[in-house]
Chains A and B, each alone.
Chain A
Amino acid sequence: AQRVTQPEKLLSVFKGAPVELKCNYSYSGSPELFWYVQYSRQRLQLLLRHISRESIKGFTADLNKGETSFHLKKPFAQEEDSAMYYCALQANTGNQFYFGTGTSLTVIP
């Protein structure tokens, strides 16, 4: 069975400080990994996906298959980064998406 774990429910950092949101997964196949974000009063939306290896809004995430991790990082946090972040895994059979419990990030001015 698949599982996505985000160990931190809440995370606070000061503006300009580095931020890392942790995500670990377990899945028997080769999953696709994603980060989704939900800003206040907005719907959930895609932030980035591991296969594209791109940086979105200064965020990057590297898939580490050995550690089964997909941590989200940003070198300098901004106030507008305050949001709920969800790590997600897409199954390669059926294409379902499974989400972690989410991390609420607060960037302190």
Chain B
Amino acid sequence: SAVISQKPSRDICQRGTSLTIQCQVDSQVTMMFWYRQQPGQSLTLIATANQGSEATYESGFVIDKFPISRPNLTFSTLTVSNMSPEDSSIYLCSASGWNTGELFFGEGSRLTVL
């Protein structure tokens, strides 16, 4: 199993600013993903964080808006850039080993944009 820590757990931000969310896993994992969960909605995959290379983004998400880093096997960051109220959401970091079939989740970062 893997324990995932995210910070900040919540934040209130002003429109137009950027916020970086950090994700730390307590063991080496192969796959790391970032999800968004908007109020009353499901988890939407933003991107796969690839170690040492550019993240792989899902349709509707772009690097300029959601730059992602993954410098090693246990750490990743997601930045929400030039925020607007529509970006208010819970952002979840998740991780799994290759083909283990189980995804572990952080507790989420609740972001409110005013």
Contacts and interface: CB of A to CB of B under 8 A. Distances in A.
Contacts, number: 47
Contact of A49 (B31, B101, B105): B101
B62 interface: no
Contact of A46 (B33, B48, B102, B106): B102
Interface residues of A, number: 22
A45 B42 contact: no
Interface residues of B, number: 24
A40 interface: no
29 contacts: A1-B59, A32-B101, A34-B101, A43-B105, A43-B106, A43-B107, A43-B108, A44-B92, A45-B105, A46-B102, A46-B103, A49-B102, A51-B101, A90-B101, A94-B48, A94-B56, A95-B31, A95-B96, A96-B33, A96-B45, A96-B58, A97-B45, A98-B45, A99-B35, A99-B44, A99-B45, A100-B42, A101-B42, A102-B42
Interface of B: 31, 33, 35, 41-45, 48, 56, 58-59, 92, 94, 96, 98-99, 101-103, 105-108
